Amino acid sequence: EDKVVQSPLSLVVHEGDTVTLNCSYEVTNFRSLLWYKQEKKAPTFLFMLTSSGIEKKSGRLSSILDKKELFSILNITATQTGDSAVYLCAVLIQGAQKLVFGQGTRLTINP
Amino acid sequence: GAVVSQHPSRVICKSGTSVKIECRSLDFQATTMFWYRQFPKQSLMLMATSNEGSKATYEQGVEKDKFLINHASLTLSTLTVTSAHPEDSSFYICSAREGISQYFGPGTRLLVL
């Protein structure tokens, strides 16, 4: 069974801190790994990672994939209260083209 | 990026009634759409894959007679929750595939009384 596991499930930090969110996976037919941010509504896309070792950056957010160890991390530096959300990791399965989601990490940034 | 809409955004209904949710890709054609369900404080669970012009593929444990999916055109898929019960109350989200990207709709919050 395809599985995506995120850790921690919940994280509370102060504004300005740096956080690292983890995502590990065990799937039969890996295509890509995606990170999403979910606030009150549907998830919004952050990154898609397909190749190992290549860091993707967008402002204060960055992410990298390790296909040998089957995990990815999402880093957020200089956190702001607007970063508070649930961060979802998902793996895109080759062939079926379906996304398998992890449980999510609920990030709370306190002022 | 591509836009996907869902309608309605919120629905409250009585137990035993059926509810139809629409998912539309607004500026692209989507041969494949996906329906997810999300219970409070849980992640998205894939319910089914909807393919234009053919029967949907349901995930294990999802009743196809209860959650009817119709993908009648390249821009529209509908999910009908038949004879809804309080335990069907959830956040239903669709996504539409364009290439290897998936674009999510804003979701439909269903409350069954």
Q: What is the mean pLDDT of residues A33-55?
A: 92
pLDDT at B97: 87
pLDDT at B1: 65
Could you tell me what percent of chain A has a pLDDT over 70?
100
In the DSSP assignment, the letter for residue A49 is E
Q: What is the largest CA-CA distance in chain A?
A: 44
How far apart are the C-alpha atoms of A105 and A107, rounded to whole Å?
A: 6
Q: What is the mean pLDDT of residues B43-70?
A: 92
Q: Is B45 on the interface with A (CB under 8 A)?
A: yes
| Chain B CB contacts of A104 below 8 Å | 42-43
* Peptide bond preceding A8 in cis form (omega within 30 of 0): yes
Chain A residues with a Cβ under 8 Å from any Cβ in chain B: 31-32, 41-45, 48, 88, 90, 92, 96-104, 106
Look at residue A82 and tell me whether its pLDDT is greater than 80: yes
How far apart are the C-alpha atoms of A47 and B102, rounded to whole Å?
A: 12
